[in-house]
Amino acid sequence: MASPTPFESQIYRSLPEIERADAIVDRISTAISLGLLKVGERLPPEAALSEMFGVGGATLREALGELRERGIVETRRGRSGGSFVVKQPQSQTDAIRDWFLSTSISEIRDLGDEHSAIAATTIRLACERAEAHDFERLQELARALVLARTPEVRASADSRFHIELAVSAQSPRLANAEIRLQEESVQQLWAPLGVPLDPETATAEHLELVRAVAQDQPERAQKLALEHIRRNIFHLIDTKLTLGYSQSIQEPNEARH
């Protein structure tokens, strides 16, 4: 058979078997990092988790075992027992550094292109569909970013704002796309590598977005959302350049390839 093209490989990619437990660990860790699950929160019972993830009991127990080993969850016995989130996953600075080194500028630009497409429509729909209580909630979420003291909490506050903005647009598909895009980039954005992003600027931009949505100004809201993404993408590229290409070549007259 002809070797599959990358598009075909994407369609027919094998369904993970062994990595299902790892996928559960990642999913739960990311949810905690993003603040979707909070410290102290109880995970659903094992039987419910197995069913929702669509895995057998053994795979689920393997995943919970790994999460316990990492000190992220704790399982308590008894009537008020269950698996509880006990701490944030470790700061993933090394993993994030690897991401910057292995991701090219063209791929970062492409991530921004997709994010712009999703955000442009999301914000327009939010203008049409969000209501008063959404505005208050979004303002509160926007302010949470400037109050955050660590990169992890900032990442989680930032992504929470954008996900809730997508939620206010009433489209589950767009909200899911926003969640995926946030998972792919928000930790990189706030990681303490290179020049740090200013939480005050980001918060001011978020509040501007809420104002435009509240005043039902779709053109303005879309413009702000696109500028916001563009600035974030520039920041990721600057960090990439700082980490990957900090040294310039002084004697460039060498033909190497």
Partner 1 sequence: MKPDTEVVHAANALTSWTNGVSAEIEDLSRNVASLLERNLVGKPKVDKAALAGLDKLSREFLAKNTFAVGAGTFFAHASVEEGGRTLDWWSRKGSGSVGRLDFDLTPGSNRYYDYEKLPFFSTAASTGEQTLWGPYIDYLGFEEYILTFTAPFSVHGTFTGVAGCDIRIKDLEPLIMPHLRGIPGDAALVNASNRVILGNSGMYLVGERIKSGSPEQHRMALDVPHLGLSLIYTSTRHTS
Residues contributing to the site for partner 1 (CB under 8 A): 2-3, 5-7, 104-107, 109-110, 231, 233-235, 237-238, 241, 244-245, 247-250, 252-257
User: Rounded to the nearest whole angstrom, what is the least distance from the CB of residue 96 to partner 1 in the complex?
Assistant: 18
Query: Contact 144/160 with Cβ under 8 angstroms?
Result: yes
CA 227 – CA 230 distance, rounded (Å): 5
To the nearest whole angstrom, how small is the minimum distance from the Cβ of residue 51 to partner 1? 35
Q: Whose Cβ is closer to partner 1: residue 7's or residue 12's?
A: 7
For residues 107 and 216, which CB has a smaller minimum distance to partner 1 in the complex? 107
CB of 93 to partner 1, least distance (A): 21
What b/e string do you get for 11-39 counting C-beta neighbours within 10 Å, with b at 16 or more?
A: eeeeeeeeebbeebbeebbbbbbbbebee
Which of 128, 238 has the CB closer to partner 1?
238
Residue 86 to residue 137: CA distance in whole angstroms: 26
Q: How far is the CB of 181 from partner 1 (least distance, A)?
A: 18
For residue 103, what are the CA distances in angstroms to 9, 96, 108, 236, 240? Answer: 20, 10, 7, 10, 8
Structure tokens at 35: 């603040």
Closer to partner 1 by CB, 159 or 239: give it. 239
- Other beta carbons within 10 angstroms of residue 190's beta carbon come to 26
Please say which residue, 105 or 120, places its beta carbon nearer to partner 1.
Answer: 105
Strand ranges for the chain from DSSP E:
73-76, 82-85
**Shortest distance (Å) from residue 34 CB to partner 1:** 24
Please report how close the Cβ of residue 234 comes to partner 1 at its closest, in angstroms. 4
The nearer residue to partner 1, 5 or 80, going by C-beta atoms, is: 5
β-bridge partners, 73: 85
By beta-carbon proximity to partner 1, the closer residue of 47 and 117 is: 117
Instruction: Tell me, letter by letter, the H, E, C secondary structure of 181-199.
Output: HHHHHHHHHHCCCCCCCCH
Minimum distance of partner 1 from residue 20's CB (angstroms): 22
Find tokens 């002084």 and name the residue: 250
Region of 82 on the Ramachandran plot (φ > 0 left; ψ -120 to 50 alpha; else beta):
left
